[in-house]
Structure 1
């Protein structure tokens, strides 16, 4: 079995490699060549932590495995650790033997950012020039960097529950040579693309905060009860997702479906747009929304890419398991 420690991953994987892996696996999911297993996601009743497992099997890419991990909200303040902690395990689909254990913290950030970036590539208007960020934590910086590579944006606007954190994304904008402006939530009406990346259980972005033609990537809702945007916004939009079952049970769509504002049949897999079996955005005035719930196959795809790179660069640790 090969081990790729967390410390080595930053030197191995790039945003482009993560993007390519996620785009490819979304397409495989939509074609039926890959599928995700049901998600286990539980509150531990300890340290306010959420812990769970995501896994799947890609027949085309012969990837089998799971990610174990979750969210410990006290880590940063108490221990100086990031709040998201995870590990990816890969198995030989022919024999069931474990083949690799890969640090999952950076990979989770990269694959989540890659997923929203893939949605921007395929659903945002070509002339999108202003990007809005709701959330300014650790993950938001990865989201913004990946998104800025998808369109010739000219300006970044941002809002956060804790305004003192906005310099995190202002710095990314400055690195890209873009103007940054802190706004209140109605100010999001200026944005052509909005990424919401919070851990909220109540909506912040409302339907009347969003202008016609906007693309929204909702990336923070991955647990029953979480919610980042008003359910009425999904009723205004054409809704896309990574995995429909997760979207209606633990994703942003759970609330709109429960309120009868959206039907399961209304939700489209993003992979269908990538494959060309769905046209995606149908007009420049249409609001599109990507419900990024996070699927195990994303983690397996980027982890498999990292293992190949680690072997190539002599950084994989081989153990007799």
Structure 2
């Protein structure tokens, strides 16, 4: 069995690797070659933690396994990231445990890769201003991945706690992009692409603020009750997601569905756009929304890449059970 540590994952898996892995697994899902198993996610009644499992199988990429972990809100006070996870990969031919892979960095990089895939396939080619709503740990990953998809000339940002925006500004500076702090309405007026990555439970962006042609990647809503944008945005937009079943139950689309503003059939898997079996943006005026709920197959895809690269580079530990 291979053991691939967090440090090794950071060494061997780059943004290009994560982008390709996530794009491929979304395409496989749309073709029926990969599927997620039901998610288990529970409050454990201790340390205010949420804990659960995401699992699945990709017949095309031969990634079989599960991610185990969750959210510990007190970890930041201990110098740890609040999200903690580990990926277990199994040999699909034998069922034997093949690899134990650190999941914290991979979760961040695969989430950023998902929004980057949506920008690649749905944003206008001439998009120049990137809007960031949220400035937590994940935001820096999102900004770096998004910046590689279009020739952005500027980043505008908002966060509930403005003092956190300095670190995001440093990332923009590192990328050579001007960075401005804006109120949400002004951000929406300027941005051609908007990424929301918060833990909000109420809409942060209203429909009347969103200009024609905007692409929005909603990356923070992964639980019943969470919400980042006005449900009316969905009714005015072409809506895409990683997995429709999750989108309507715990993703950003849950609210528009519950208010009967859209139907399940109005939501298109982004894998179908990648495969060419569904249309993405049809005009420069379209508002497009990607509801990134986060699926287990994303974790398995990037962990599979990490295990293969670590083994080939001699960086994986090999142990016997």
Shift of 1:149: 0.1
Q: Is the 8 A contact 1:154 1:178 kept in 2?
A: yes
- In the alignment, the residues of structure 2 paired with residue 181 and residue 61 of structure 1 have an alpha-carbon distance, to the nearest angstrom, of 41
- In the alignment, the residues of structure 2 paired with residue 46 and residue 206 of structure 1 have an alpha-carbon distance, to the nearest angstrom, of 36
- In the alignment, the residues of structure 1 paired with residue 75 and residue 190 of structure 2 have an alpha-carbon distance, to the nearest angstrom, of 35
- In the alignment, the residues of structure 1 paired with residue 15 and residue 138 of structure 2 have an alpha-carbon distance, to the nearest angstrom, of 14
Q: Is the 8 A contact 1:217 1:289 kept in 2?
A: yes
- In the alignment, the residues of structure 2 paired with residue 309 and residue 59 of structure 1 have an alpha-carbon distance, to the nearest angstrom, of 20
Match of 2:308 in 1: 308
- In the alignment, the residues of structure 1 paired with residue 92 and residue 61 of structure 2 have an alpha-carbon distance, to the nearest angstrom, of 10
- In the alignment, the residues of structure 2 paired with residue 243 and residue 176 of structure 1 have an alpha-carbon distance, to the nearest angstrom, of 31
Shift of 1:40: 1.1
Q: Is the 8 A contact 1:202 1:226 kept in 2?
A: yes
Shift of 1:200: 1.3
- In the alignment, the residues of structure 2 paired with residue 200 and residue 48 of structure 1 have an alpha-carbon distance, to the nearest angstrom, of 17
Match of 1:26 in 2: 26
* Higher mean displacement: 141-150 or 208-217: 208-217
After TM superposition, the runs of 4+ consecutive aligned structure 1 residues lying more than 4 A away are: none
Shift of 1:205: 1.3
- Encode CA deviations 1:95-137: one digit per residue, 9 max, x unaligned: 2111111000000000000000000000000000000000001
Shift of 1:198: 0.5
Within a 5 Å distance, the mapping from 1:1-321 to structure 2 comes to 1-77=1-77, 79-187=78-186, 188-321=188-321
Shift of 1:7: 2.0
- Encode CA deviations 1:253-291: one digit per residue, 9 max, x unaligned: 011101101100000000000000111011111100000
- Encode CA deviations 1:213-255: one digit per residue, 9 max, x unaligned: 0000000111111111111111111100000000001100011
- Encode CA deviations 1:171-205: one digit per residue, 9 max, x unaligned: 11111111111011101221000000001112211
* Higher mean displacement: 110-119 or 206-215: 206-215
Q: Is the 8 A contact 1:67 1:104 kept in 2?
A: yes
* Higher mean displacement: 126-135 or 87-96: 87-96
Give the secondary structure class of the aligned counterpart of 2:315.
coil
- In the alignment, the residues of structure 2 paired with residue 259 and residue 236 of structure 1 have an alpha-carbon distance, to the nearest angstrom, of 14
- In the alignment, the residues of structure 1 paired with residue 227 and residue 50 of structure 2 have an alpha-carbon distance, to the nearest angstrom, of 16
- In the alignment, the residues of structure 2 paired with residue 287 and residue 144 of structure 1 have an alpha-carbon distance, to the nearest angstrom, of 20
Q: Is the 8 A contact 1:128 1:152 kept in 2?
A: yes
- Encode CA deviations 1:16-37: one digit per residue, 9 max, x unaligned: 0000000010000001111111
Q: Is the 8 A contact 1:49 1:70 kept in 2?
A: yes
- In the alignment, the residues of structure 1 paired with residue 161 and residue 45 of structure 2 have an alpha-carbon distance, to the nearest angstrom, of 26
Shift of 1:295: 0.6
Aligned residues: 320
- In the alignment, the residues of structure 2 paired with residue 260 and residue 136 of structure 1 have an alpha-carbon distance, to the nearest angstrom, of 31
For structure 1, the 5+ residue unaligned runs are none
Give the secondary structure class of the aligned counterpart of 1:94.
coil
Q: TM-score, normalised by structure 1?
A: 0.98
Q: Is the 8 A contact 1:18 1:111 kept in 2?
A: yes
Shift of 1:50: 1.5
- In the alignment, the residues of structure 2 paired with residue 85 and residue 133 of structure 1 have an alpha-carbon distance, to the nearest angstrom, of 24
